Amino acid sequence: MHTNTMEGYWSLFKRSVIGIYHHVSHKYLQQYLNETAFRYNTQIQKENERFFNSLTLCDRRLKFDELTRK
């Protein structure tokens, strides 16, 4: 591991904040970082492969009140 790996990860995170989310709250920061880590670790996969890979990781339905619960 070297600093280029971390710089690559943080540049991906910063681009996603600027281009997709526009604002990141402290409350959901860990979820944003988890999504960026998943994207970074699967960056050699095509988009459809990444999508189906993420679906296989889902084991149950996530309801809105669970997502927004404090």
Q: For the segment 30-50, what is each residue's pLDDT rounded down to a tens digit?
A: 988 888 888 888 888 898 888
Amino acid at 29: L
SS3 50: helix
Across the chain, what does the average pLDDT equal?
Answer: 84
* pLDDT reading at 58 higher than 70: yes
Quote the Cα angle for 48-49-51, to 5°.
65
Tokens at 50, concatenated: 């990444």
